[in-house]
Amino acid sequence: MRRQLPLFGDGALAAAARESKLHSRRRRAGGGAALRAAVLGSGSGGNSTIVESGEGCLLIDAGFSCRELERRLEAVGRSAADVDAVLLTHEHDDHCRGVDRFARRHQVPVYGTRGTYKGPLLRGLGSFARPMG
């Protein structure tokens, strides 16, 4: 079972990070764990970014098909199994196209605002939806 993701609090992500091809930048304050990010795609065809620290791995937006998200994760040295949660910025097709299938296939929670979940594209998430605010 996946650990609960404490969003925007102490330990902003949850789970172990691994060495990868992801871009790295050390936090200046206290020399904490490296924060790594890779843009998996950006544009009207789809948007998705992976961000990880020593505490976990977060997929921001899932604007590609599930299969394409998996392929793009592999291209940066990650797999869907590394993803602890998905955070949706908003409910447009190019940001959430593959989130339903990705969440169900890989058993990951999907976080977003309550307004985000009112859109018709996200009504099928069921128990994977984690509305915030």
Residue 72, pLDDT score: 96
Q: Tens of pLDDT along 50-71?
A: 999 888 999 999 999 999 999 9
What mean pLDDT value characterizes the chain? 79
Q: Tens of pLDDT along 22-61?
A: 444 444 445 566 889 999 999 999 999 999 988 899 999 9
CATH superfamily of 39-132: Ribonuclease Z/Hydroxyacylglutathione hydrolase-like (3.60.15.10)
- Of 40, 87, 95, the closest CA to residue 62 belongs to 95
**What are the extents of the domains in the chain?**
39-132
Decide: pTM greater than 0.85.
no
